[in-house]
Amino acid sequence: RAAQAGLRVVVVEKADKLGGTSAAGGGVIWAPANHLAATAGYQDSVQDGVEYLTAAAGDIMSDDDIAWYVRTSGAAIKFLDEHTRVKLSPLSRPDYHMEWPGAAAGGRSLDNAAFRANDYPDIADVMRQPTYFPLLTMVERDDLNGRAPDPRLLSDRTAQGVRTMGGALVGSLTASALDAGVHIALAAPVTHLERGTDGW
């Protein structure tokens, strides 16, 4: 977002691969009252999100931090949806504790569409390898309802370098960053910062 606002942005990654734990994990984003869920017909509100997060983390998060997260997470999802290559879909999975105030039956957890890393060779070579197999999205896993996935689909995805789940999120975010002119440095652990005369 900073780059799209006209600022010069650099990402410095201490590892030699991009993605960290996000690339190896499920990549699901939890965002109450997001517009994608509303479009899909899920009922939710900022107030319900605040009540649920307060029940879940009110002992370690302040009221202000909880309200900030719920409010800005929805705004972040809208920005990602409208201005980046990130493609999210609301899951029908309920919150973990439906007995808590403000719990929602679905729509808050957002899954990532499959990302064809081979379309971005510069990204494919530097992304951390996935740990979730087979190469299915969360939505696809839920739709199978325990059935075996199509082996041809999995074979094609392997050949195309497709990433799903956290790998899809990292891939689409990285592609979006490059689109916006962000510079990315790998194997670059930060030891200190110095302000130069040109602003870097």
For residues 100, 105, 106 and 108, what is the CA-based torsion angle, rounded to 10 degrees? -20
For the chain (length 200 residues), average pLDDT per consecutive 10? 94 94 92 97 97 96 97 96 96 96 97 91 86 90 93 93 94 94 94 78
What's the rounded Cα separation, in Å, for the pair 67 and 58?
11
Structure confidence at residue 124 (pLDDT): 84
Structure confidence at residue 176 (pLDDT): 94
Amino acid at 53: L
Report the chain's terminal Cα–Cα distance, integer Å: 18
Q: Which residues pair with 30 in a beta bridge?
A: 109
Respond yes or no on whether the N-terminal peptide bond of residue 151 is cis (omega within 30° of 0): no
Structure confidence at residue 122 (pLDDT): 82
What's the rounded Cα separation, in Å, for the pair 94 and 196?
50
Residue that the structure tokens 């064809």 belong to: 116
Structure confidence at residue 200 (pLDDT): 58
Q: Which residues pair with 163 in a beta bridge?
A: 115
Q: Where are the alpha helices (DSSP H) in 136-181?
A: 138-144, 151-159, 165-179
Q: Which residues pair with 102 in a beta bridge?
A: none
Question: In this structure, how many other beta carbons lie within 10 angstroms of the beta carbon of residue 171?
Answer: 30
